[in-house]
Every structure is written in C-alpha cells, then in structure tokens.
Amino acid sequence: MDLEGQGGAEDRLRQADRLRDQRMWDAAAVAYRAHLEMRPGDWRAQVQLGHCLKEAGDPAAALVAYRAAEALAPNNADVQIQLGHALKMAGDAEQAWRAYARALEIDPTLEEAARESAALSRLATPLARRPRAPGQAVQVVFDSSDLVAYLADNRTPTGIQRVQLNVTARALLDPVEGVVAAAVAFEPAARAWREIPRDVFLALWRLSRSGGDAAAPEWQDALAALRRALAAGPDFAFATGASLLNLGTSWWIKDYFLHVRHVARYSGVRYMPMIHDCIPLMTPEHCAPALVGEFAQWFSSMAATADHALANSEWSAADARRIAAAMLPGAELPVAVVRLDADLKRELGGMAADTWPPRPDLPQPNEPFVLCVGTIESRKNHLMLFEAWLTLIRRHGAARVPRLVCIGKPGWLAEAATTLWRNSPALQEKVSIAHGVADTALAALYRGAMFTVANSHYEGWGLPVTESLSFGRLPLVARNTALTEAGGEAAVYFEPGNGPDLVAKLETLIFDTAERTRREAAIPAAAQLRSWAEIADQMMREASRSAAPLAAPRLALALGTTYPLRLIGGGEASRAKAVAEMVRDGLNWHPLEPWGVWTRPGLARLRLTVPDAAGQGPLRLYLGCVAPGQEVRIGLRAHGAGSTPPAFLKLEAEAGSRFTCVLDVAAPGGEVVVEIDGGAGAGIGTRRKPDARRVGLGLTAVMLCRPDDLAARLDFLERHAYRVFAAD
C-alpha cells in the first residue's frame, strides 16, 4: 500500500477512535468501516467496529464484525469474549458459551456449560424488543463552509460570521449534556464535508477577536492549518440522526442541497438552517441582482428540504413562514426563534482593549463621537445619516457636533453615501469611515461613544443594537423590522425615512446630557442580555430534539405540469425552483445551469414524489433531453412503488440532438424513480466551446400526467418539439 493510502487509513482510525470515545457509535462505525476498506486485515479495528455496532443497538451487525475479527485472529481470547457477548445479546446462549469457553480454554461440554447455557437463555433479550442505542449522544454538526471562505480574505467578522464564530466556538468548548459538537466545511473538490479540528477553529475564533491584521503571521499560520485539515483530512463521518446546523450562508455552494439530501437519505442526517433574514426577497432593490437570484433559489430549496429551521427574530421567522407558505401551500416550515441578544461586553471580558486603538481613521482619545456599526451599503441607509450630520453641522456649527464614526466595509450600492461624503469637506472633517476593526477595539469604541445609531431599511436582527446595550450605550434606531426586537424598550426610536425626526432625536441625545444619562440608567433593567454560550446552548437543544416525521412530503409534483430542470432565475421563491433542485437524487449530477442539467457518467436518478391520489393509477413520464457533444448510448428505467415491472428505454442519440423520452409507469405508488444510465459518458465540448467535463445525458424538463391527459401531453411536446423516443 502506498504512503498516501497508509496516511488515509491512520486518519480514519484516529477519527473512529475519537468518535468511539465520544460515544458516537454510528459515526464511529462509519469511520471504522472506511479504515477497514484500506486496511482489511486489521482485526483490532474489526473488534472496535463490533463494539460500536453493539452499542448502537445492532448486535446482528456486531456479530458479523466479530466473526470477521475471529477469521483474522482465530485464537485471540479477546475476540472470543466479544463474540460471546454478541451471541448472548442475539439470544444464542449455546454458541455464546462455546465462545466464552474458547476464550477461557475450558471444555464446553462440562456440566457447568449446560447450566450456564440455560441461564444465558433466560437472560437473553429478544433482538426485536431491544432498545436502540441507549445513551448514545446526539451529534450536532456546525456547517462552517461559508465562514471558511470568508476568513480566507477577511480577519474581522461581520454580523453573520460573528454569530457563526461565537456560537460554534462555545459549542465546541462546552456542549450541552448529551450533545457532541463538531465543525465542518464542505470541500468542493472532494464533494464532501471535512472536519475542522477543534483547536484550529478555536484558534481562528480567538485571533478574529483580538486583531484586525489579515497579514499577521499568527493569522496566516492558523489559516494554513485550516487549509491542511480540509485538504488532507478524511470525509466527515455523520452519525445516524445527526443534525447539520448551518448558521451561515450556503447559496453560493454548487449543489449544496444535493449533498444534504444524500447524507439525509443514507445517514438520516437532519438539516437545520439559520434564517438570518429574507432581505433579498423583501428588499431586492438593496441587493446585488446575482445575490437575489441565488437567494431565491436557496430559499426555495431550503423550504422543501429543512427538517427544522432557526430564525434570529420573530420578524425573520414570520417572513420565512409567509414566503414558504406562498410557494408550498399546506406545507408548514417549522421555525424556532433563537434571539441574538448577546452581551458583547460580558463575552469579551478582560479582552477589551484598555488603551485607545491607535488608528488615524478613528477619533482621538477623549473626542466626543457617535458610533454606527454596519456595512456601508444602501440598505443601511448611511446616506440619510450623512445628510442628518450635514444638517447638524449647518444648524449648530461643526465645533458643537460630535464626530460620527462608521465601522464597516464597503458593500452594495454604497456610492450615493460615499460620493456625498467625498464631495463634502464638512462631512470628511466630522465623519470617519473605518473597517478591519477587531472586537477588542470595537469594544473600546462602544465604551467611549456618546451613543450609537442604526438607520437600516430592513434587518433580520441588529447585532450592533444589542452590542450597544451591552456596553450601556443608548442605541438610536429606526423603528422598523427586527430592529425593534433588538432594541426592545431600552432603545430610542425615530420614524424610518423621516429625516427631521432623526435630526430631532440626534439633537436630544447630543445636547441634552441629563436626558441621555437618564435613559442610559434604565438600560440594565430594560435590556436582558445573554452570553453567546447561552445562545449556543439553545441552538444545540433545538438541533438535538427529535424531529417529528412530516405527515406528507412537502414537494409532490402536480400532474400535467411541466417542470423545468434548470436554474430558473428571478427574485421570487417558487415551487418550480424547488422542484428543479429537489428531484435529483444521489451525487451523479452536475450542477443546474440556465439551459438544463447534465448527469455524470454512470447511473443518475430522479426521484419524483407523487400526490396521494395520483399514485393509485398509471402515469406517463415525459423527459426533455439533450445529447452531449458526442453520440451516446443511453438507457432509462422508470418504476414506482408498486410491484409491476419497470419501463425500459434504450436509445442512441446524435451529438447535440434534442429529444423527448416517454415512459409509462403502471403502479407509481408514492413516487416515481427514474434511473438514467449514461454509461462511460461523453465530452460536452466542441471546437467553438471547449469543455473538459464528461457527462451522460442532459435534461431540460420533466412532466408526469395521466395517460389520457391529451392536453398535458400535447403541451409538453409543443414546448419540446424534438424527436420522441417512447418505451415499448
């Protein structure tokens, strides 16, 4: 075996041993099996595999593992003892006694053997009535894929990354009882999740809070350790029933939900996303068009996939439920609210900077200033804030107006605000814009500010509002969306979009020191904040609860409706977008494209859920197809849950041709499964359009209908007026 294979086997064995020690029996069994694929002669690993299977409540499978160990080490006493335990659990007292006897080197035909055999028979519990996996911990897996991508170019986190870093770190440091926490990232090259070692994640978390220099050697060393772990580590072993908790964004990851469905089907993994907001669907005018389209596709697939979801506010939860209900009528999206009411001051503790951050883009020590934290973008409405500052300067004189300090990196459509700032000497003198400020320095700014201001058009929560309260500083907040949940009764509010009201409230807080002091004194009683550890605990408890099975699939296909199998585009969440993503089953697919989707070489599957009433009679399946850049031989098979033979279709397709395939399914039951055999595959590229991928078949649309639904059949064929291949 080569050195690379040996290293992989040792990595798997270490992973398996660690999971076993954590009592993650199912996940450990997966890892031991992966190790044994590379080291089939390791009888000790076979014994450990048997232990995990036995503890997971599957003594029959444990017995198979112990038998394999016995074949490799026939005279080993420990193997015989473990074999005896498994036989005892399975109720085979006589064979159990013989295994014990071999281990103890005694004659199993003695009278004592008969007595022991009878006793074992009385004590053995029938396999069918044994409880499954008593005491096994629940695996809560934090998907940090987007965080890894963000940290590659940024050291200081924005809101979502701050949530991911703090919650995941606290879960890794101190998980709630009965939970084993792990951090992973999806590795596109491996098409699998890889674990982020605990010490690597915690190092990045601590360094992200203590400094802002992304070129610092200690930060670069931590990133290098992360890259090594993800590139060389084994694929993550999900325990049966694990919760995959995604606290960030995943809409940019190609075929993310395809892989989520795969681990859900084969490992029983439950998917639980965090909905921070629905801003791209609610206020698309403040977002990049590409983000709006990606988010609409993500939300459509998420609403059809998620077992449960978390939301950071009642406002975000209500948005998510309303959008999901509109696209999937009658299918409720379960959402639990976990408020992000974090106490930044308590979290940082002694880490907060004692000295003022020595930066030219920040105010001087003892200089009065008002703090605004948030990305510089149109949604945060810095333009209105800058105009208010100009009004204050012109009305009261620059000497009486405190500096406005804006902490945030440039974002989408910031030009209107930044252009006004650049063209106004008065604003440049009294408004500072800075980014790359570490949490420790940010804490010093909160502590030194007169008050803070948040003027966003739309928010899912509003971490800067909560952080301001944690340092005893009044937040002046636009009265809209979830900002009112973040500010509660402690914040001061102005009417959204009302410039005069904003200026009036600013004047009160700037010039009426007694009123500001009075309002500050009421903050401790009005704002009940939590630590990030308490927020992490709530999330882990939500993720570890048993999910009630859905009464019916959320995404059944309507008969007679043609569904495109492509990226549909546009800024609306829709059933059609969800279908295009969700009907693909298994990993043998290329990502969706605007024209359609390619299968990979080999066998690819479509899994089409059928409405209850529709499953009682025969159905006809229509597939819009495209051949790759070379002639191919394709095989298709369609079958339902009934016992009737499947429908077969074999064809030869000319390079680049477009055609329709038609198959009849006699007994669909609850679903129709379509298997597409693309063989060894063919190239896509031509001289004019090079493409190195190898593919099986291209699909553009799917439709199920009754055989006598002539209108639906004609509509599909008119939409896809190509050559028709029909099964006999």
Can you give the pLDDT at residue 266?
81
Can you give the pLDDT at residue 547?
47
Question: Per-residue pLDDT tens for 655-708?
Answer: 889 999 999 998 788 889 999 998 888 888 666 677 778 899 999 999 999 999
**Dihedrals φ, ψ of 149, to 5°?**
-65, -40
Can you give the pLDDT at residue 632?
83
Give the pLDDT band (50/70/90) at residue 108.
very low
Q: Is 61 exposed, middle or buried (0-12, 13-18, 19+ CB in 10 A)?
A: middle
Give the pLDDT band (50/70/90) at residue 339.
very high
Question: Per-residue pLDDT tens for 578-607?
Answer: 999 999 999 999 999 999 999 999 899 999
Query: Among 293, 239, 277, which residue's Cα sits nearest to residue 32?
Result: 239
pTM: 0.82
> How many angstroms separate the CA atoms of 642 and 255, rounded?
30
> How many angstroms separate the CA atoms of 170 and 207, rounded?
15
Query: Among 338, 330, 682, 290, which residue's Cα sits nearest to residue 538?
Result: 338
Can you give the pLDDT at residue 81?
66
Whether 164 shows a pLDDT value over 80: the answer reads yes
Can you give the pLDDT at residue 63?
74
> How many angstroms separate the CA atoms of 101 and 452, rounded?
77
> How many angstroms separate the CA atoms of 635 and 624, rounded?
15
CB atoms within 10 A of CB 229: 17
The one-letter amino acid code at 169 reads A
Q: Where are the alpha helices (DSSP H) in 380-482?
A: 382-396, 415-423, 425-430, 439-448, 463-470
Residue 278 to residues 140, 162, 507, Cα–Cα distance (Å): 25, 18, 33
Counting other chains too, the contacts that 157-160 makes at CB distance below 8 Å and 24 or more residues apart are 157/208, 158/375, 158/408, 158/409, 159/276, 159/461, 159/463, 160/247, 160/248, 160/249, 160/276
Residue 581 to residues 540, 568, 606, 700, Cα–Cα distance (Å): 28, 10, 10, 12
Residue 22 makes CB contacts below 8 A (sequence gap 6+) with: 137, 180
> How many angstroms separate the CA atoms of 702 and 696, rounded?
17
Among left, alpha and beta (phi > 0; psi -120 to 50; other), residue 649 is: beta
Angle at which helices 575-582 and 289-305 cross, to 10°: 70
Residue 397 makes CB contacts below 8 A (sequence gap 6+) with: none
Among left, alpha and beta (phi > 0; psi -120 to 50; other), residue 326 is: alpha
Among residues of the chain, what percentage have pLDDT more than 90?
Answer: 59
Give the pLDDT band (50/70/90) at residue 93.
low
Can you give the pLDDT at residue 667?
79
Task: Supply the mean pLDDT for the chain.
Answer: 86
Lowest-pLDDT range of 175-179, 453-457, 468-472:
175-179
Can you give the pLDDT at residue 357?
76
Can you give the pLDDT at residue 594?
95
- Locus of tokens 């089939």: 40
Mean pLDDT of 72-88: 68
Q: Is 354 exposed, middle or buried (0-12, 13-18, 19+ CB in 10 A)?
A: exposed
Query: Among 207, 186, 184, 215, which residue's Cα sits nearest to residue 197?
Result: 184
Give the pLDDT band (50/70/90) at residue 122.
very low
DSSP state of 638: E
Counting other chains too, the contacts that 281-284 makes at CB distance below 8 Å and 24 or more residues apart are 281/319, 281/323, 281/571, 281/572, 281/573, 282/319, 282/458, 283/379, 283/457, 283/458, 284/571
Can you give the pLDDT at residue 298?
96
Can you give the pLDDT at residue 204?
96
Handedness of CA 607, 608, 609, 612 (dihedral sign): negative
Q: What secondary structure, in 3-state letters, does 119-150 show?
A: HHHHHCCCHHHCCCCCCCCEEEEEECHHHHHH
Angle at which helices 43-55 and 59-72 cross, to 10°: 170
CB atoms within 10 A of CB 156: 22
> How many angstroms separate the CA atoms of 35 and 44, rounded?
11
Give the pLDDT band (50/70/90) at residue 653.
confident
Lowest-pLDDT range of 368-377, 509-518, 595-604, 685-694:
685-694
Lowest-pLDDT range of 183-187, 436-440, 643-647:
643-647
Whether 419 shows a pLDDT value over 80: the answer reads yes
Largest CA distance in the chain: 106
Can you give the pLDDT at residue 690?
73
Residue 123 to residues 119, 133, 135, 490, Cα–Cα distance (Å): 6, 19, 21, 64
Can you give the pLDDT at residue 11?
84
Whether 466 shows a pLDDT value over 90: the answer reads yes
Domains and CATH numbers, the chain: 3-129 (1.25.40.10), 138-337 (no CATH), 344-529 (3.40.50.2000), 563-726 (2.60.120)
Among residues of the chain, what percentage have pLDDT more than 70?
Answer: 87
Can you give the pLDDT at residue 84?
64
Please report the DSSP string for 298-322 in residue order.
HHHHHHHH-SSEEESSHHHHHHHHH
> How many angstroms separate the CA atoms of 127 and 185, rounded?
38
**To 5 degrees, how large is the angle CA 220–CA 411–CA 335?**
90
Can you give the pLDDT at residue 720?
76
Lowest-pLDDT range of 85-99, 459-473, 568-582, 700-714:
85-99
Return the exposure string of 163-202: e unless at least 16 CB atoms fall within 10 Å of the residue's CB, then b.
bbbbbbbbbbeebbeebbbbbbbbbeeeebbbbbbeebbb
Give the pLDDT band (50/70/90) at residue 350.
low
- The strand pairing partners of 185, in sequence order, are 194
Among left, alpha and beta (phi > 0; psi -120 to 50; other), residue 477 is: beta
- Locus of tokens 């859905």: 550
> How many angstroms separate the CA atoms of 236 and 185, rounded?
9
